[in-house]
Structure 1
Amino acid sequence: MIRNLDLDLLRSFAAVADLGSISAAARKVGRSQSAVSLQMDRLAESLGFQVLERRGRAVSPTPRGGAFLEDARRLLDLNDRVLTQHVHGAFAQPLRLGFVQDVGEDVMKRILYRLAASFPQAPITVRVCTTVTMLDKLKAEDLDIAVGLRNESDLPTTLLLREPMVWIAARHLRLDREAPVPLVLFENPCICRSAAISALNAAGRAFRIAFTSPSLPGLMAAVGAGIGVTVRSPRALRPDLAVVADLDRASLPDMEFVLYGRPGSRPPALAKVEEILLEELRREHPLYAVA
């Protein structure tokens, strides 16, 4: 007997896996917490194995559930692509998107893949720039939607993700406690630059600007070479880099990724764009996802 998977169950399962919480997933899919719990029981019964397990206060896929999750995502992407091509397929206006470099290559690749599949007739233009630049471009209506870091603005905003800022340096770098901290920073204006300087001033720690760059690859190349210390989110860590414990007294604020819209009316297709951005950004580092 041929059985069919219930896509509503798969969508709730993916939401739980992304957010690490039944209650957070319930808010995302618009159901009650008990309803999503029942959905997970039905999915496990349908598949013949448990898809979720509790680890402390968080919920995560079992080993078999994790393997099934990737196939579930492919089924959902195919379903969404078929529907959006019929609903939004005729949308041929350019989609103009902005991203800060901290979003990361892998996340941006997934976002662009899904957008190209959902809007096959719409030219997609992407501008990777600073948050300040993208806010100016949104106000000038040169961008439709953008993902940046939290900044003062009167534009429509949605909080996507909150992550801690951390001090990052090459693993081989050793700081002299008696010497000024060598900083590797973006050029002004930069939220992480301001946070680093404010934190060191508050801790009474001397510093010097050892390297500046307008690009994240240039910045991280200097950090990897041991030129100095930078401040980014944990997603910037690589095997050759580490969090600097010597600076734990210079406490840093959280970094907030925000979805910015432009003022005035917008094409209906942007609702689907927002959904894709929300899902892909929140899929990263679920422990710090917005509740």
Structure 2
Amino acid sequence: MIRNLDLDLLRSFAAVVDLGSISAAARKVGRSQSAVSLQMDRLAEALGFQVLERRGRAVTPTPRGGAFLEDARRLLDLNDQVLTQHVHGAFAQPLRLGFVQDVGEDVMRRILLRLSASFPQAPITVRVCATSIMLDKLKAEDLDLAVGFRAESDLPSILLLREPMVWIAARSLRLDRDEPVPLVLFESPCICRSAAISALTSAGRAFRVAFTSPSLHGLMAAVGAGMGVTVRSPRALRPDLARVADLDCAGLPDMEMMLYGRAGNRPPALQKVEELLVEELRREHPLYAVA
């Protein structure tokens, strides 16, 4: 007998894994917590194995559940692409998107691949720049949606991620407490630059700006070469880099990544793009995802 998988069960399963919580997944899919728990039981019964297990306060996929997850995501993506193409396939207006560099190449590649498949007739244009520039372009209606850091703005926005800022330097770098801290920073304006300078000033530590760059690749190359210390999220750490314990006394705030849109009503196609961006950004960094 042919059996069919229930896509609603798969969507709830992916949401639980992405957010690490049944209650958070329930809010995302618009169901009660008990309903999502029942869905997970039904999915396990349909597959013949448990898909989730609890580890402390977090809910994670079992080994077999983790292996099934990627197939589940492919089914959901195909379902969404087919529906989107037939419902919004005639949408041929340019999709104009903005991203900060910290979004990362892999995430942006996935986003653009999914958008190209879902909106084959819509030209996609992307601008990678600072949050302040993206906000100006949204107000001027030169962008439709933008992913950037939290900033003062009256534009519609959704909180995507909240991450700690940390001091990062090459493992070989040794700081002399009697010498100014050498900083490797983006050009102004930059929230990490402002946070670093404010933290060191409050802690009474002298500093000097040793390197500035508009490029994240250039910034991290200078850090790896031992030119100084930078402030980024823990995602910027690599095997040759480490957190700088000597500067823990100079406390840093969290950074928040936001999805910004233009004021006014958005067509259904842009609402679908917004959903896709939220899903991909929160999928990439589940440890810091906003529940």
Quickly name the TM-score band, shorter chain normalised.
over 0.9
2:72 counterpart SS class: helix
Question: 1:78 aligns to what?
Answer: 78
* Alpha-carbon distance between aligned partners in 2 of 1:166 and 1:202, rounded to the nearest angstrom: 16
* Alpha-carbon distance between aligned partners in 2 of 1:103 and 1:273, rounded to the nearest angstrom: 16
* Alpha-carbon distance between aligned partners in 2 of 1:47 and 1:268, rounded to the nearest angstrom: 34
Question: 1:100 aligns to what?
Answer: 100
Structure 2 unaligned spans of 5+: none
> Which one-letter code corresponds to 1:42 in the other structure?
R
Q: Once the two structures are superposed, what CA deviation does each residue of 1:1-31 show, in whole Å capped at 9, x if it has no partner?
A: 2211110000000000100000000000000
1:269 counterpart SS class: helix
Question: 2:150 aligns to what?
Answer: 150
1:66 aligns with 2:66: yes
Q: Once the two structures are superposed, what CA deviation does each residue of 1:49-70 show, in whole Å capped at 9, x if it has no partner?
A: 1111111111111111111101
* Alpha-carbon distance between aligned partners in 1 of 2:38 and 2:276, rounded to the nearest angstrom: 26
**Cα offset, 1:264, TM superposition:** 2.9
Q: How does 1:137-176 map to 2 (within 5 A)?
A: 137-176=137-176
* Alpha-carbon distance between aligned partners in 1 of 2:106 and 2:228, rounded to the nearest angstrom: 26
> Which one-letter code corresponds to 2:72 in the other structure?
A
> Which one-letter code corresponds to 2:178 in the other structure?
E
The TM-score with structure 1 as length reference comes to 0.98
Structure 1 unaligned spans of 5+: none
> Which one-letter code corresponds to 1:129 in the other structure?
C
**Cα offset, 1:134, TM superposition:** 0.4
* Alpha-carbon distance between aligned partners in 2 of 1:117 and 1:239, rounded to the nearest angstrom: 35
**Cα offset, 1:179, TM superposition:** 1.3
Question: 1:44 aligns to what?
Answer: 44
Question: 2:119 aligns to what?
Answer: 119
Q: How does 1:1-291 map to 2 (within 5 A)?
A: 1-291=1-291
* Alpha-carbon distance between aligned partners in 1 of 2:218 and 2:174, rounded to the nearest angstrom: 21
* Alpha-carbon distance between aligned partners in 1 of 2:243 and 2:63, rounded to the nearest angstrom: 29
Q: Once the two structures are superposed, what CA deviation does each residue of 1:29-83 show, in whole Å capped at 9, x if it has no partner?
A: 0000000011111111111111111111111111111111011000000000000
> Which one-letter code corresponds to 2:189 in the other structure?
P
* Alpha-carbon distance between aligned partners in 1 of 2:212 and 2:285, rounded to the nearest angstrom: 28
The TM-score with structure 2 as length reference comes to 0.98
**Cα offset, 1:266, TM superposition:** 2.8
> Which one-letter code corresponds to 2:5 in the other structure?
L
> Which one-letter code corresponds to 1:227 in the other structure?
M
**Cα offset, 1:209, TM superposition:** 0.3
> Which one-letter code corresponds to 2:45 in the other structure?
E
* Alpha-carbon distance between aligned partners in 1 of 2:238 and 2:21, rounded to the nearest angstrom: 27
Q: Once the two structures are superposed, what CA deviation does each residue of 1:181-231 show, in whole Å capped at 9, x if it has no partner?
A: 110000011111000011111111111100000111110110111101111
> Which one-letter code corresponds to 1:50 in the other structure?
Q
Percent identity over paired residues: 88
